[in-house]
Structure 1
């Protein structure tokens, strides 16, 4: 069953459509939870190389998805400078948020990372012309309140450490969320109008180039001083795999639900991190976590079921003319009138 057939089937069943969005969003959220845990471990091992972490991720994306583009003989559907801006914004967001783990706690980073949601709502309102109903805003508010219950539980239990420079860490996260919002909204626009594989590949290519330059300037000495061990290598590998899964699944959520729903789904990442800690470290779970998960789930359901059908006057043909928008352009020119559907 190809993607077009699956999408048609899901659209014909409203309940399955909502469940599919929620499930896909939680798969992405669980990947983010693993990214947070492995990043926190790397920081605890005394390794401060946020750019290098992202470099491996972008390199793997460029290698895998770039190879698919080369196999298709496909011309870029979006000008290179737009992809450069998208890759640059994503790379800076990753750098700032990962860097914040060196100065602040995982709880503080998770809380402040929620700032991505209002930035995304603002940008989609201005740039994409998205309009939100009161029910959608209510659902989004419930999601944020649900996450607050998790943070309340962490604070009551003593949290996970305060960090060395909390204010600096908080500022890094907030600035990082601005870049994340720009990246998410830009990626949403591209995946809805163009090709998902190309978008992920180009984020990998330009993210890798930008990060490689920054690594050569900022992290070479740090890399030389690291005393590598099996634990550090495994932590890096865990981050690489989980981030690859995240970038691979994110375009589907952005295409189906938009960047606001995408970021609301990510609010459950802290709860998935708790699940992982329970299974791997046998930690006890406070009852507030279960209540929090339920509140966020209700908020996501309200947002999904009250989503407006038509929100962008300039892009009314995005859903209707998907096949036309995502056609490939064949390089060899043997049959320009023939296109391959994504």
Structure 2
């Protein structure tokens, strides 16, 4: 006889979860992911900088061509004086470690070198207009982009993806289309007998611009925007004042002063001050390389204004180059860059003075930090190596 408890047959019914149906995102969803609010805002901020540079170029052209006021050092000097009055005085009234004297005690010689680099970068590029063509300046001035890329790679430890290099290439292609349009419409300016000298001046100025912009990125992301601008105002006004007294005092005496020239100088100084004040905001949000890519459209805005002000000839390649540059910017911003090692973050994880007991012998490595091209930080846990 079979025991009663063995007469029951227990049936186990396993519930198999239904398979999750995954669908690939549609084209509209992918475009919406790329063209988000952050991307559009970043593109808009870059174009504001381009418009400011356009204003700088237009006022400089009126001063040089209509009033024969060739005073590039004096124009830069006015900007540095404004920076000094606004930002250097702000540092002077601060208390503690962010005070002007405290900053000078720690880093005065670094800012002195950076101020000299910034002054000479402006001077060399403006001086090149006397010796070479506008086309050469437009092409060679793009040299600032590979300089910024290399310096960011080696000193800021930024790592790029293939899409970033593709975006840079597309932007440079758009710049090439604009130069081609200049050749077709015969827009050749600044012809001289020393073209090689002019080209070398542009390359030197672009290199200095790249150094200045990468240093600016490091300062505004790790220290302070006001500190950078205050130090530029202090050392920039000092050294540009010396350069003005030595090299340009005679040209300044030749200027026929009236209210129109005064308005042009005021307009130039306002645009330059706005550019210097606003650029650190955009660099902190993006990077020095991204800002220089955005500034490629500045020449196009100047051309569009020149169609009405200086009767420039129009070519459809100008519009094509504008949209190609914007496409390159979208490609560059569509993916994040990787910082291989962030020393500031690494110090937060390194705690040599307080060893943790009863833990394996673990050797910390530098934390892995990813920054998006729009300046957003994506935190990751620090990597470790077990010894």
**Could you tell me which residue of structure 1 aligns to residue 302 of structure 2?**
273
**Could you tell me which residue of structure 1 aligns to residue 172 of structure 2?**
144
Q: 1:109 to 1:37 in 2, by over 3 A?
A: farther
| Alignment check: 8 A CA contact 1:86 1:187 kept | no
| Alignment check: 8 A CA contact 2:120 2:205 kept | yes
Number of equivalenced pairs: 309
Residue 61 (structure 1) aligned with residue 95 (structure 2): no
Structure exhibiting the larger radius of gyration computed from Cα positions: 2
Runs of at least 4 residues off by over 6 Å: 317-320
Q: Which one of 119, 130, 142 corresponds to residue 102 of structure 1?
A: 130
Q: 1:24 to 1:47 in 2, by over 3 A?
A: same
Higher relative contact order (CA 8 A, sep 6+): 1
Residue 48 (structure 1) aligned with residue 77 (structure 2): no
Summarize the alignment of residues 250-329 of structure 1 with structure 2, pairs less than 5 Å apart. Answer: 250-281=279-310, 283=312, 285-316=314-345
| Alignment check: 8 A CA contact 2:64 2:70 kept | yes
Q: 1:105 to 1:46 in 2, by over 3 A?
A: farther
> Displacement of 1:166 after TM fit?
2.8
**Could you tell me which residue of structure 2 aligns to residue 174 of structure 1?**
203
CA distance in 2, matches of 1:239, 1:86: 23
Q: Which one of 229, 236, 241 corresponds to residue 265 of structure 2?
A: 236
3-state SS, counterpart of residue 90 of structure 1: helix
CA distance in 2, matches of 1:119, 1:228: 40
CA distance in 1, matches of 2:181, 2:92: 49
| Alignment check: 8 A CA contact 1:310 1:316 kept | no
Greater share of residues in strand: 2
Structure 1 range deviating more: 104-113 or 120-129: 104-113
| Alignment check: 8 A CA contact 1:40 1:106 kept | no
Q: 1:157 to 1:14 in 2, by over 3 A?
A: closer
**Could you tell me which residue of structure 1 aligns to residue 354 of structure 2?**
none
| Alignment check: 8 A CA contact 1:139 1:299 kept | yes
CA distance in 1, matches of 2:311, 2:196: 32
**Could you tell me which residue of structure 2 aligns to residue 18 of structure 1?**
39
Structure 1 range deviating more: 62-71 or 307-316: 307-316
Q: 1:43 to 1:103 in 2, by over 3 A?
A: farther
Residue 88 (structure 1) aligned with residue 146 (structure 2): no
What are the Cα deviations for residues 120-171 of structure 1, in whole angstroms up to 9, with x where unaligned? 1111111111111111011011001101111111111111424224332222
Structure 1 range deviating more: 84-93 or 103-112: 103-112
Q: Which one of 116, 120, 127 corresponds to residue 148 of structure 2?
A: 120
What are the Cα deviations for residues 200-220 of structure 1, in whole angstroms up to 9, with x where unaligned? 121121111111111111112
Q: 1:37 to 1:102 in 2, by over 3 A?
A: farther
TM-score w.r.t. length of structure 2: 0.74
Q: CA RMSD in A?
A: 2.4
CA distance in 2, matches of 1:224, 1:61: 25
> Displacement of 1:283 after TM fit?
4.8
Greater share of residues in helix: 1
3-state SS, counterpart of residue 111 of structure 1: helix
3-state SS, counterpart of residue 69 of structure 2: coil
3-state SS, counterpart of residue 274 of structure 2: helix
Can you give the 5+ residue segments of structure 2 that lack an aligned partner in the other structure? 1-32, 349-368, 371-387
CA distance in 2, matches of 1:298, 1:47: 38
**Could you tell me which residue of structure 2 aligns to residue 30 of structure 1?**
51
3-state SS, counterpart of residue 128 of structure 1: coil
| Alignment check: 8 A CA contact 1:119 1:178 kept | yes
3-state SS, counterpart of residue 79 of structure 1: helix
| Alignment check: 8 A CA contact 2:130 2:190 kept | no
